[in-house]
Structure 1
């Protein structure tokens, strides 16, 4: 009896793709050979992740393909960043320990209006859609987590801190993720102040109930906004010095984003007249 390998009759146009997977053994070959040509090619298109999933056993092709595609598209863990001087999360910042997270009504999706004064922040509409995933589990969605988001006004001021808006608490709020790991805030596009690239701050908490102070957060980070969109927004009247401030900085010089921003840059669609939608996936290593 020889040790020559068993050669299975794959169509010629599949041999080159299968060469990369020849270490997976006879079980993978038999599993693939038993499938229709169209199924084999679907699995091959997924690369090593698709083949390896089939070797694992009885999982159906559609589920195997879905898991393999999910793993292949998984994002890296989002880096931690400073909360900055104006978090209003109970931590000591800017000479005070202001905490908006304990205020009634702070769990909200619409951030335009102050809870107390009912005044509204002016600016170009922005819908922020965030998806939280576990990077240690092939980017499985994280349901029931909470995000506290905050950012500056159109003219670069922070509610509860800057003198002109110290009595306001707009542009701050908490939302919980659904079963699919997503949540949505409606707000305004933040302005650009001197020395910083346009951004949105956020903190992630394991539950809404725990989102009452910074000490319970599992991630503090920031979201960057693309230059082309920023320039379109800052050409509108409400944004004052934002356009000039943007010209005076860059992502490469920004104190937060200069060490890399690929995983923190939101994808933005829309226009300045109707508003924008920004989407981003936040990866947590749980």
Structure 2
């Protein structure tokens, strides 16, 4: 693994955000608060609606107001965050706000291959009895099916795929379209994410309010790794467990995602994230 600074910048996330806010202001003048809320819903980088599987916001709201309301464990962002805290900062690049993170953007052109995975995270406000935290921003990233992290790993230093930012909707939800990650030596299969108070603040790691990881269930990992392209992960998965993993060994109940779907038709992982 090698570190590399990507010095190619577009007009930046600040430009994207200011344009979005101006567009919302104008729409609000014509259609009121209802349309402004609609404009805030997530879409991919082309403006098309997300194709991820929908879930019941009613059940999510009920879950948010009952049971435990403890913050999700704070975890390391790892050595390959891409948030400016350790090398390159993808958060400052125009195009990072997107729901489909499988392809690189800007001057990069690669696309990550693998079993389709939809990632649904619901961000909850622990200071308000775990009610939905709308208007926050989530930066999510993970390795590809070969265990490489874009922008850092030697084989994909010039790529920036499997990284993206989304704004939470009125239900506190963000959805990403991605691929199932590999199991690389020493780590249980996982996804990284950071939570920011707003899109405008999601430009540097200095502004994040939470950092954690999603653990993927063993039975799902075994099913995925039996498919084409994941052969190396079969061995590495057999050499690690949630109990031995250096992140999840102290407890993983609140970080273990729930997975539905199938390898052939695509999988969806969901997790509620109190912050």
Q: Which runs of 4+ in 1 moved over 3 A?
A: 67-71
Match of 1:104 among 94, 98, 104: 94
Q: Provide the residue aligned with 1:91 in structure 2.
A: 85
Match of 2:272 among 252, 272, 281: 281
Instruction: Say whether 1:168 aligns with 2:162.
Output: no
Distance 2:94 2:203 in 1: 11
Distance 1:128 1:206 in 2: 20
Q: How does 1:10-29 map to 2 (within 5 A)?
A: none
Tell me, what secondary structure is at the counterpart of 1:237?
A: coil
**Cα offset, 1:70, TM superposition:** 5.0
Give the count of matched residue pairs.
215
Q: How does 1:251-262 map to 2 (within 5 A)?
A: 251-262=242-253
Q: Provide the residue aligned with 2:42 in structure 1.
A: none
Tell me the TM-score normalised to structure 1 length: 0.73
**Cα offset, 1:238, TM superposition:** 1.3
Deviations 1:55-99 (A, max 9, x none): xxxxxxxxxxxx99753334421010000000010012xxxx201
Deviations 1:149-168 (A, max 9, x none): 00000010000000100000
Distance 2:134 2:95 in 1: 21
**CA radius of gyration, larger in:** 1
Tell me the TM-score normalised to structure 2 length: 0.76
The CA RMSD measured in Å over matched residues stands at: 1.6
Instruction: Say whether 1:73 aligns with 2:67.
Output: yes
Distance 2:245 2:209 in 1: 24
Distance 1:121 1:253 in 2: 28
Distance 1:70 1:181, change over 3 A: closer
Instruction: Say whether 1:265 aligns with 2:256.
Output: yes
Question: RCO greater where, 1 or 2, for CA within 8 Å and sep 6 or more?
Answer: 2
Distance 1:173 1:137, change over 3 A: same
Gaps of 5+ in 1: 1-66
The answer to whether the 8 Å contact 2:143/2:182 transfers is yes
Distance 1:205 1:240 in 2: 36
Q: Provide the residue aligned with 2:148 in structure 1.
A: 157
**Cα offset, 1:239, TM superposition:** 1.2
